[in-house]
Amino acid sequence: MIGYTAMRNILSDNGRRFDPQVLKVFIRAMGIYPVGSVVLLNDSSIGRVVEINRSAPLKPKVKVMIGENGHEFRDDHGAVVDLAEEKKLFIAKAVDPREISKQRGE
């Protein structure tokens, strides 16, 4: 299960099994998209979450792995984008890294 899916499942509990105050602290610490999550941005680029934003859990810092033009950044050389500062960019959805590998024929 990818990190985002796990977080969504925990949040959808609606306080039945988890104390809402504990959940709030947990989300602040882990983020909606935990570090290491692979995400698709609204400009079609794909990145990996490298740092959470405690004040805006939906706006982490993301290292670009595949640019909007399809260019793949090898050896971790993609730019780091702070989604809290880049107002036009946002996470469209979480991506299973295995799906990227399949699409690229790896």
| Model confidence pLDDT, tens digit, residues 31-65 | 889 999 999 999 999 999 999 998 888 899 999 99
Looking at residue 74, what is its pLDDT?
Answer: 85
Q: Are 39 and 93 in contact (CB under 8 A)?
A: yes
pTM over 0.85: no
Q: How far apart are CA 71 and CA 77, in angstroms?
A: 11
- Which residue would you say has higher pLDDT here, 81 or 10? 81
